[in-house]
Protein backbone atom coordinates (compact mmCIF):
# COMPACT_ATOMS: atom_id res chain seq x y z
CA UNK A 1 0.00 0.00 0.00
CA UNK A 2 1.75 3.09 -1.28
CA UNK A 3 1.32 6.38 0.60
CA UNK A 4 -0.43 8.66 -1.85
CA UNK A 5 -2.43 11.71 -0.82
CA UNK A 6 -5.97 12.24 -1.99
CA UNK A 7 -4.83 15.45 -3.70
CA UNK A 8 -2.29 13.48 -5.71
CA UNK A 9 -4.87 10.85 -6.62
CA UNK A 10 -7.34 13.50 -7.80
CA UNK A 11 -4.68 15.29 -9.82
CA UNK A 12 -3.70 11.99 -11.46
CA UNK A 13 -7.35 11.08 -12.11
CA UNK A 14 -7.57 14.02 -14.48
CA UNK A 15 -5.72 11.76 -16.93
CA UNK A 16 -8.50 9.25 -17.55
CA UNK A 17 -6.05 6.70 -18.92
CA UNK A 18 -3.99 6.66 -15.70
CA UNK A 19 -4.76 3.18 -14.37
CA UNK A 20 -2.46 3.58 -11.36
CA UNK A 21 -4.46 6.60 -10.18
CA UNK A 22 -7.71 4.65 -10.41
CA UNK A 23 -6.15 1.74 -8.54
CA UNK A 24 -5.02 4.13 -5.76
CA UNK A 25 -8.51 5.60 -5.68
CA UNK A 26 -10.17 2.19 -5.38
CA UNK A 27 -7.59 1.06 -2.81
CA UNK A 28 -8.29 4.11 -0.66
CA UNK A 29 -12.09 4.12 -0.74
CA UNK A 30 -13.48 0.63 -1.52
CA UNK A 31 -13.11 -0.96 1.92
CA UNK A 32 -14.78 1.81 3.98
CA UNK A 33 -17.70 1.78 1.52
CA UNK A 34 -18.02 -2.02 1.77
CA UNK A 35 -17.94 -1.92 5.57
CA UNK A 36 -20.45 0.93 5.68
CA UNK A 37 -22.86 -1.01 3.44
CA UNK A 38 -22.43 -4.13 5.59
CA UNK A 39 -23.30 -2.11 8.70
CA UNK A 40 -26.57 -1.31 6.98
CA UNK A 41 -27.31 -5.03 6.81
CA UNK A 42 -26.14 -5.83 3.31
CA UNK A 43 -24.41 -9.10 2.54
CA UNK A 44 -20.74 -9.02 1.57
CA UNK A 45 -21.70 -9.52 -2.07
CA UNK A 46 -24.28 -6.71 -2.01
CA UNK A 47 -21.85 -4.44 -0.15
CA UNK A 48 -19.14 -5.06 -2.75
CA UNK A 49 -21.66 -4.21 -5.46
CA UNK A 50 -22.56 -0.96 -3.67
CA UNK A 51 -18.85 -0.11 -3.47
CA UNK A 52 -18.34 -0.76 -7.18
CA UNK A 53 -21.39 1.30 -8.09
CA UNK A 54 -20.31 4.11 -5.77
CA UNK A 55 -16.82 4.29 -7.23
CA UNK A 56 -18.19 4.09 -10.78
CA UNK A 57 -20.71 6.87 -10.04
CA UNK A 58 -17.91 9.05 -8.67
CA UNK A 59 -15.75 8.31 -11.73
CA UNK A 60 -18.58 9.36 -14.01
CA UNK A 61 -19.24 12.56 -12.03
CA UNK A 62 -15.51 13.32 -11.87
CA UNK A 63 -15.15 12.94 -15.64
CA UNK A 64 -18.04 15.37 -16.09
CA UNK A 65 -16.36 17.88 -13.72
CA UNK A 66 -19.23 17.58 -11.21
CA UNK A 67 -16.99 17.01 -8.19
CA UNK A 68 -15.96 20.32 -6.61
CA UNK A 69 -13.43 20.03 -3.79
CA UNK A 70 -14.37 23.45 -2.48
CA UNK A 71 -17.80 22.07 -1.55
CA UNK A 72 -16.50 19.45 0.86
CA UNK A 73 -14.34 16.43 1.49
CA UNK A 74 -14.15 13.66 -1.09
CA UNK A 75 -15.10 11.13 1.59
CA UNK A 76 -18.32 13.07 2.25
CA UNK A 77 -19.15 13.09 -1.46
CA UNK A 78 -18.59 9.33 -1.61
CA UNK A 79 -20.67 8.87 1.56
CA UNK A 80 -23.63 10.53 -0.11
CA UNK A 81 -23.39 8.22 -3.12
CA UNK A 82 -22.78 5.12 -0.98
CA UNK A 83 -25.65 5.96 1.35
CA UNK A 84 -28.12 6.31 -1.53
CA UNK A 85 -26.96 3.09 -3.19
CA UNK A 86 -26.88 1.08 0.06
CA UNK A 87 -30.36 2.20 1.05
CA UNK A 88 -31.63 1.39 -2.45
CA UNK A 89 -30.09 -2.09 -2.14
CA UNK A 90 -31.79 -2.54 1.25
CA UNK A 91 -35.16 -1.56 -0.25
CA UNK A 92 -34.60 -3.90 -3.18
CA UNK A 93 -33.69 -6.74 -0.84
CA UNK A 94 -36.75 -6.03 1.32
CA UNK A 95 -39.02 -6.21 -1.75
CA UNK A 96 -37.34 -9.43 -2.87
CA UNK A 97 -37.65 -10.92 0.60
CA UNK A 98 -41.35 -10.10 0.74
CA UNK A 99 -41.90 -11.75 -2.65
CA UNK A 100 -39.93 -14.83 -1.72
CA UNK A 101 -40.92 -14.63 1.98
CA UNK A 102 -37.83 -15.08 4.07
CA UNK A 103 -38.19 -18.10 6.31
CA UNK A 104 -36.70 -16.33 9.33
CA UNK A 105 -39.26 -13.52 9.12
CA UNK A 106 -36.52 -10.94 9.66
CA UNK A 107 -38.10 -7.49 9.46
CA UNK A 108 -34.76 -5.70 9.97
CA UNK A 109 -34.76 -4.62 6.32
CA UNK A 110 -37.70 -2.36 7.03
CA UNK A 111 -35.90 -0.28 9.67
CA UNK A 112 -33.60 2.29 8.17
CA UNK A 113 -31.14 4.08 10.45
CA UNK A 114 -31.65 7.82 10.84
CA UNK A 115 -29.35 10.32 9.10
CA UNK A 116 -27.27 10.85 12.24
CA UNK A 117 -26.66 7.10 12.62
CA UNK A 118 -25.79 6.75 8.94
CA UNK A 119 -23.33 9.61 9.19
CA UNK A 120 -21.83 8.11 12.35
CA UNK A 121 -21.47 4.69 10.67
CA UNK A 122 -19.63 6.32 7.77
CA UNK A 123 -17.34 8.39 9.99
CA UNK A 124 -16.42 5.32 12.05
CA UNK A 125 -15.61 3.26 8.96
CA UNK A 126 -13.69 6.13 7.38
CA UNK A 127 -11.75 6.70 10.63
CA UNK A 128 -10.86 2.99 10.85
CA UNK A 129 -9.69 3.00 7.23
CA UNK A 130 -7.50 6.06 7.78
CA UNK A 131 -5.97 4.66 10.96
CA UNK A 132 -5.21 1.36 9.23
CA UNK A 133 -3.59 3.22 6.33
CA UNK A 134 -1.54 5.38 8.71
CA UNK A 135 -0.48 2.37 10.80
CA UNK A 136 0.61 0.56 7.66
CA UNK A 137 2.75 3.53 6.71
CA UNK A 138 4.29 3.76 10.20
CA UNK A 139 5.16 0.05 10.05
CA UNK A 140 7.19 0.81 6.93
CA UNK A 141 9.03 3.67 8.63
CA UNK A 142 9.95 2.38 12.08
CA UNK A 143 12.01 -0.52 13.32
CA UNK A 144 10.06 -3.75 13.84
CA UNK A 145 10.97 -3.72 17.56
CA UNK A 146 9.46 -0.24 17.92
CA UNK A 147 6.23 -1.36 16.32
CA UNK A 148 6.16 -4.54 18.39
CA UNK A 149 6.50 -2.53 21.62
CA UNK A 150 3.81 -0.09 20.51
CA UNK A 151 1.38 -2.89 19.61
CA UNK A 152 2.03 -4.70 22.89
CA UNK A 153 1.03 -1.63 24.90
CA UNK A 154 -1.65 -0.10 22.67
CA UNK A 155 -3.32 -3.10 21.06
CA UNK A 156 -2.65 -5.92 23.50
CA UNK A 157 -3.15 -3.84 26.67
CA UNK A 158 0.16 -4.84 28.18
CA UNK A 159 1.77 -2.55 30.72
CA UNK A 160 5.07 -1.04 29.57
CA UNK A 161 6.88 -3.28 32.08
CA UNK A 162 5.15 -6.41 30.72
CA UNK A 163 5.89 -5.40 27.14
CA UNK A 164 9.53 -4.71 27.97
CA UNK A 165 9.90 -8.12 29.63
CA UNK A 166 8.22 -9.95 26.73
CA UNK A 167 10.25 -8.20 24.07
CA UNK A 168 13.48 -8.03 26.00
CA UNK A 169 14.02 -4.28 25.94
CA UNK A 170 14.18 -1.59 28.64
CA UNK A 171 10.90 -0.07 29.86
CA UNK A 172 12.12 3.33 28.66
CA UNK A 173 12.39 1.90 25.13
CA UNK A 174 8.72 0.87 25.31
CA UNK A 175 7.71 4.41 26.31
CA UNK A 176 9.87 5.81 23.51
CA UNK A 177 8.30 3.41 21.01
CA UNK A 178 4.79 4.45 22.05
CA UNK A 179 5.70 8.14 21.80
CA UNK A 180 7.40 7.73 18.41
CA UNK A 181 4.56 5.79 16.81
CA UNK A 182 1.79 7.99 18.22
CA UNK A 183 3.60 11.14 17.12
CA UNK A 184 4.03 9.80 13.59
CA UNK A 185 0.41 8.60 13.47
CA UNK A 186 -0.76 12.09 14.40
CA UNK A 187 1.43 13.62 11.67
CA UNK A 188 0.20 11.20 9.03
CA UNK A 189 -3.40 11.64 10.12
CA UNK A 190 -3.09 15.43 9.93
CA UNK A 191 -1.53 15.17 6.45
CA UNK A 192 -4.26 12.77 5.39
CA UNK A 193 -7.06 15.02 6.64
CA UNK A 194 -5.55 18.22 5.28
CA UNK A 195 -5.35 16.76 1.80
CA UNK A 196 -8.57 14.73 1.85
Q: How many Å apart are CA 37 and CA 101, to the nearest integer?
A: 23
Asked whether residue 155 is domain-assigned, the answer is no
Specify the pLDDT at position 130: 85
pTM confidence score: 0.69
Asked whether residue 151 is domain-assigned, the answer is no
Cβ neighbours around 142 below 10 Å, total: 17
Asked whether residue 142 is domain-assigned, the answer is no
Asked whether residue 47 is domain-assigned, the answer is yes
The pLDDT tens digits for 157-189 are: 999 999 999 999 999 999 999 999 999 999 888
State percent of the chain over pLDDT 90: 42
**By the 8 A CB rule, do 35 and 128 touch?**
yes
Q: Is 49's pLDDT higher than 70?
A: yes
Q: How many domains, the chain?
A: 1
**Residues of the domain holding 108:** 6-113
Q: How many Å apart are CA 132 and CA 30, to the nearest integer?
A: 14
Domain harbouring 34, CATH code: 1.10.1740
Asked whether residue 183 is domain-assigned, the answer is no
Asked whether residue 154 is domain-assigned, the answer is no
Amino acid sequence: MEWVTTSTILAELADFSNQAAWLHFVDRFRLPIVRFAQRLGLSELDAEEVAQETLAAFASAFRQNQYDRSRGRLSDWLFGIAQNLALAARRSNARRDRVFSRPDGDADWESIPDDQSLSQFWEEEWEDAMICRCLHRVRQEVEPMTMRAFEAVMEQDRTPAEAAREIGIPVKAVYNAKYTVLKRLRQLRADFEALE
